Structure 1
Amino acid sequence: MLHQTPGLIDDIRARFAHVDSCPFQGSRIFFENAGGALTLNSVTETSAKFAAIPDNQGRDNVASHALVDIINTAKADMATFMSAPSGQFFMGESGTELLFRMIRTACVNAPSGSKVIGSSIEHPASRSAARRWAEIAGLDYVNVPHDDATGMVTAEAYAEQMTPDVAVATILHGSPVTGMGMDVAAIAHAIRAVSPDCFIIVDGIQHAAHGQIDIASYDIDGYAVSPYKVFSRHGFGIAWISDRLTALPHDQLINAPASGWEFGTRDTGAYATMSDVVAYFDWLGGRVSGSEDRSERIRAAGAAIHAYETHLTHAMINGTGNLPGLREMDHVSILAGADNPAREGLVSITVKGMASADVVTKLNQLGIRTHTRKADHYSGNVLDPLGLPDCIRISLCHYNTEHEVAQLLAAMNAITD
């Protein structure tokens, strides 16, 4: 585990910008990673370097050729990182925009009278797109209810709603409200067992920073991430699409290559930062595995990240040292259960007698950055069934420490209205 290797956590933290201080607030603990993870120092350096380059791709000059090579390298790096031996990667405005585009394309090409299936646990990035384009395309939308108690949806729940006429399916990999990870491979298998040719599109935005991505094992057609949530920066999204989704008629310029999904000239620097992200996972995997194989190192990094974050959330929930955990605090309730093996680096709570926004403010005054999730268009699908107007989201990543968790527990134990 990461904290059992002497000096490794310090080495990890040294690779990230603003790991323990905010340029506006000063010293702080960052438990708002689900809103956007910390940025690798290498990403900021790469972004500055490429922001100064005036050349674009597709020209006959040395700089342009180099930019194309950098983009192709980044796509190959992402294929290794996400275990995607086929299909293609492309860039868009954001992870949300890319989910809309993939889901729109699948829906408008679906057979007349077919269905779209998705779950009530999904972030509106995929759920809104599926419902909107199902209606426009004249398709029925089938809702798979998630389990309020566990904060997740299972393959069995999908199977109960599946019929052979389902043409498009959406799956959430990780919930930014409950923190639970879904078994994408099992859900996709349940879908294909009934509708083998269904187009399956996955929202991987929340999951990407917290464990392995293994597209080859999922049997899906689309997967979207938001790079600012996986140690890169804002301003773009990345999607992977299968060869058969690539081939569907889709929005593109007249007479453009049929396989093209990008619009306009893309930011080479943004692509290059994804190589930085993959290089970081490679480095970390080398520290925890010693493997000579790059793919194995990246898988080892993902496994180590998941194990360490489970250790941190366990400490947060059950206590560390002589500090009681959140489950032992009478004024605190934990969403989706204290003992939930699907948890990925996130604990959402409520505090008895206090509005969540007031708790977040008090923690912020103590230098602990968290976030309020309200029962609005982003989180109402999860909070409304629980009868909750809001909750406090405490989200961590593998660069956080047990000492930071202890400081949070001390603060939470003392919080009163």
Structure 2
Amino acid sequence: MLQQKPELIDAIRARFAHVDACPFQGPRIFFENAGGALTLKSVVETSAKFAAIPDNQGRDNVASHALVNIINKAKADLSVFMNASGGQFFVGESGTELLFRMIRTACVNAQPGCKVIGSSIEHPASRSAARRWAEIAGLNYVNVPHDDATGLVTAKDYRMLMTPDVVVATVLHASPVTGMGMDVAAIAHAIREVAPECFIIVDGIQHAAHGQMDLDSYNVDGYAISPYKVFSRHGYGVAWISDRLTALPHDQLIDAPAEGWEFGTRDTGAYATMSDVVEYFEWVGSQVSDASDRRDRIVAAGQAIRAYETHLTGAMINGIGNLPGLRDMDHIKILAGTDNPAREGLVSVVVQDMPSADVVTKLNTQGIRTHTRKADHYSGNVLDPLGLNDCIRISLCHYNTEHEVAQLLAALKDLRA
């Protein structure tokens, strides 16, 4: 739908800062969205506005009351955005820090000798936390291997290793290396069929920018996102936790309210920028549908974004105009398959006989921003089994264009060692 509305793509791009030029480099194409998406101009304005306000929440004055109302509105907006009818939202240092905190709490409240389950496709944000706190809490960690060819882990993969004594499970919603999205609802269902009371915690950091989150349908207990990867800014993370995870004993101040999970005075501006993000998705939904309900508009936006990003990655892989696609370039290999329906706006490749860092540098000189993923503590779990030292990650969002894809293909076509 978006690909049929070039004027809407222009309007979308107009809402983002630095959409076609870097303040340090000059004109450039931004295909590094998995490392941090572009920022909405409204978020920039909101951040500046709240940075100047000296008042804190919880005081008896007009400004403080206003700040509390803004925070409550943001939490309500997040509930609509992510479709959460229960539980609570709170902010922390980062998505990674929040994943650690949720996983830690679930592990230390479990009986020693029980199990924690997670998969080899996970980002170390959840995988490291699960393994560390399983060991400290006297739990046994169970690893679910992902499929190297597709970059996926499935409900069937989890089910094969599930036992009733699994008390904590971690799930990755989308991989920042392969770009593949997992079926969180199906995985959670497979877990609960065997261990109904298991605490299930999801890393939604890579998935969030694609606008399709539905917490009520997942039946999980924790979900974390990093706002700088979903059109907001750095400096904080957002988590949602279920009522039963909320109620577990957790780190907090002595005699503080039992349901509180935040530490210290939080930045009201951080919350307010999430309202900006939700408002943006609502606006996109209003442009691609006639829906009047807020949630329906957000769902419509997510569907349109998914379709358009699939169109762009398809053009990247299959070609556009007279330009051959990546699959037809004999010097390029695509990770996780060329026709993978789980792909979410990301294509990772290697160029034959050329270190990925050199490819990224060469593309950068042509004004095309991509990123190297190395077989290190971030990506080794995906690249090592493929026998790769590194790869080039090309990640896009719905503000990217066919013309930008064509420029990338033209640059890669003749790029050889």
Q: Which TM bucket (shorter chain)? A: over 0.9
Partner of 2:112: 112
Q: Which digits, 9 at most, give the CA deviation of each residue in 1:135-191, with x for residues without a partner?
A: 000000000000000001000000000000000000000000000000000000000
Structure 2 distance, partners of 1:97, 1:17, is 27
1:270 counterpart residue number: 270
Shift of 1:6: 4.4
In structure 2, the gaps of 5 or more residues are: none
- Separation in 1 of the partners of 2:136 and 2:15? 46
The count of aligned residue pairs is 417
Q: What pairs up with 1:315-334 in 2 under 5 angstroms?
A: 315-334=315-334
Equivalent in the alignment of 2:68: 68
**1:5 equivalenced with 2:5 (yes/no):** yes
Structure 1 residue 221: Cα displacement = 0.1
Corresponding residue of 2:125? 125
Q: Is 1:141 matched up with 2:111?
A: no
Deviations 1:339-395 (A, max 9, x none): 000000000000001000000000000000000000000000000000000000000
TM-score by length of 2: 1.00
Partner of 2:190: 190
SS in 2 for 1:394: strand
1:173 to 2:173 alignment: yes
Residues 1:55 and 2:55 aligned together = yes
Spell out the pairing of 1:272-351 with structure 2 (5 A cutoff).
272-351=272-351
Q: 2:211, 2:281 within 8 Å by CA — same for their partners in 1?
A: no
SS, match of residue 201 in structure 2: strand
Partner letter of residue 34 of structure 2? A
Who is 2:395 aligned against? 395
Alignment-mate amino acid for residue 85 of structure 2: P
Separation of aligned partners in 1, 2:402 and 2:26: 21
Q: 1-side partners of 2:298 and 2:394: how far apart?
A: 26
The aligned counterpart of 1:17 is 17
CA distance in structure 2 between the aligned counterparts of 1:221 and 1:15, rounded to whole angstroms: 34
CA drift of 1:54 comes to: 0.2
CA distance in 2, matches of 1:3, 1:226: 27
Distance 1:270 1:414 in 2: 44
Residue pair 2:317, 2:327 contacting (<8 A) in 1 also = yes
* Counterpart amino acid of residue 71 in structure 1: I
Misfit runs of 4+, over 2 Å: none
**What are the equivalent positions in structure 2 for 1:374-413 lying under 5 Å apart?**
374-413=374-413
Task: Report the AA paired with residue 362 of structure 2.
Answer: K
Partner of 1:219: 219
Q: Which residue of 1 aligns with 2:371?
A: 371
Letter in 2 for 1:75: K
Counterpart Cα distance in 2 of 1:390 and 1:159: 31
Note the residue ranges of structure 1 that are not aligned, 5 or more in a row. none
Counterpart secondary structure, 1:7 = helix
Aligned-pair CA distance for 1:81: 0.0
Shift of residue 133, structure 1, vs aligned partner? 0.0
Tell me the distance in 1 between the aligned counterparts of 2:366 and 2:112: 57
How many Å separate the matches in 2 of 1:104 and 1:353?
43
The aligned amino acid for 2:361 is T
Question: Which amino acid in structure 1 is aligned with residue 206 of structure 2?
Answer: Q
Cα deviation, residue 211, structure 1: 3.4
For the Cα contact (< 8 Å) 2:211–2:298, is it kept in 1? no
Distance 1:110 1:171 in 2: 18
Kindly provide the CA deviation profile for residues 23-68 of structure 1, in whole angstroms up to 9, marking residues without a partner as x: 0000000000000000000000000000000000000000000000
Name the aligned partner's letter for residue 376 of structure 1. D
1:210 is displaced (CA, Å) by: 1.3
Q: What TM-score do the two structures reach when normalised by structure 1?
A: 1.00
Q: Do the aligned residues in 1 keep the contact of 2:100 with 2:126 (CA within 8 Å)?
A: yes
AA at the equivalent of 1:394: I
Contact kept, 8 Å, 2:166 with 2:195, in 1: the verdict is yes
- The whole-number CA distance in structure 1 between the counterparts of 2:103 and 2:411 is 43
1:247 corresponds to 2:247: yes
